Amino acid sequence: MHRCRLNALPHDIFHKLYSLQFLYLQENNLHFLQDDIFSDLINLSQLFLHGNRIRTLSENVFRGLVNLDRLLLHDNRVRQVNRRAFRDLGRLTMLFLFNNSLAELPSQALRDTQGIEFLRLNANPWSCGCEARALWEWFREARVSSSEVICASPAARRTQDLRFLREMDFALCPLADPGSIGGSTTTTFSTKTRWWFHKNKPQSATKGLYEKSSETVKAGLYGKGPSSTTSVVKYELGEDELALPKLDPEEYWVNYGNEDSGVTLRCVELECPPEFDAPPSSSPRSSSAPSALALLALSVLGLRLHLLVG
C-alpha cells in the first residue's frame, strides 16, 4: 500500500487481520491516524509510515501492537506525541522519528518502549530548555544507540547536543510534580539547585531597596529563537523592617536546604530576646516551698510573742 496516494484510512481497514506481520504505508499523503486503527494487528512486526504528512500521535493510535519490532515515522510533520502513545510497544527495538517538527518529546513515551535499541531523533527543532529535562534524564539512564539530538533553542544552547548537556544546565528548572499526569511543574528545587543559588545569589546594591524580577520564556518552533518578557517590580522596606537586625549574606544561607533534616533554627546570630535561652520555669510544686517556710516562720514568731506576754 505504499505510494498509493492515500489521504486517509478507513477505521476498519485492518479489521481481523490478526496474522499480518508487515505493513507498508510509506510515501502516501496521510495526515492523521485514527485511534485503534491497528488494534487487531496483534502479530504485526514492522510498520512503515515514513514519508507522509502525519502531524500528531494520539494516545491510542498504536494500541494493540504488542509484538511490533520496527516503527518508522521519519519524514513526516509530527510535532506532538502523546505521553502514552507507545504504551503497548514494549517489544519495540527500532524507532525512527527523524526529520519531523518535534520540539519536545515526553520521556514517558520512551520509557514505555522498554526494549528500544535504535533511536533516531535528528533533524528536529528541539527545544532544550526546562521542558527537555525529563528527556535528558531518560538518555542518562537508557542503553540505546541514538542519533544526535541538536538543540534549536534557546539561543545559548543552539547547536548543542541535548544528550550531553550538564546537570547544572537545568539547575534553575523546577522539578516535575510526580502527582500530575499532565506533567505540570512545581517550584520545588533540588539540593544541587539550592547549592547553585547559594554560590551565585545576587547581591543587592542598596540595603533598603530590593528588586523582584520574573521572566517568561517561550521557545519558538522551527529554529526560531525564544521570546521572553521580563517585568521588574521595585519596592522599599518600611522603617520597622529596616530597623530589624541584619544578617550577613553567608549567615542568611546557612540553614537553607535543610528542610528534610527536621531541625529548625530559631535564630542565627541575631539579637535574640532575653527569654530565648532562659531556663524553663519552675514547676508548681517547687514554687509552693517558699510559701510553707513563710507560714512556719510566722508560727514561730507568734509562739515567741505568746511566751513573752505570758
- The overall average pLDDT reported for the chain is 74
Residue 247 in this model has a pLDDT that exceeds 60: no
Say if residue 69 is in the same domain as residue 181. Answer: no
Query: In terms of residue numbers, what domain contains 191?
Result: 169-198
CB-based contact 52:26 (threshold 8 Å):
yes
The pTM score is: 0.58
In this prediction, residue 172 carries a pLDDT of: 87
Cell 521542558 belongs to residue: 131
Say if residue 130 is in the same domain as residue 178. Answer: no
Say if residue 192 is in the same domain as residue 98. Answer: no
Domain count of the fold of the chain: 2
Residue 262 in this model has a pLDDT that exceeds 80: no
Task: Judge whether 222 lies within some domain.
Answer: no
Say if residue 5 is in the same domain as residue 141. Answer: yes
- Distance, in Å, from the CA atom of 251 to the CA atom of 108, rounded to the nearest integer, reads 41
Say if residue 155 is in the same domain as residue 178. Answer: no
Please name the helix (run of DSSP H) or strand (run of DSSP E) that holds residue 230, with its range, or none. Answer: strand 227-236
Whether a cis peptide bond, with omega within 30° of 0, leads into 178 is no
In this prediction, residue 130 carries a pLDDT of: 94
For 88-146, the pLDDT digits (tens) are 999 999 999 999 999 999 999 999 999 999 999 999 999 999 999 999 999 999 999 99
Task: Judge whether 11 lies within some domain.
Answer: yes
- Distance, in Å, from the CA atom of 147 to the CA atom of 73, rounded to the nearest integer, reads 15
Say if residue 39 is in the same domain as residue 183. Answer: no
Task: Judge whether 227 lies within some domain.
Answer: no
CB-based contact 63:88 (threshold 8 Å):
yes
Say if residue 54 is in the same domain as residue 30. Answer: yes
CATH number at 110 reads 3.80.10.10
Say if residue 48 is in the same domain as residue 20. Answer: yes
In this prediction, residue 220 carries a pLDDT of: 47
Say if residue 161 is in the same domain as residue 138. Answer: yes
Say if residue 48 is in the same domain as residue 192. Answer: no
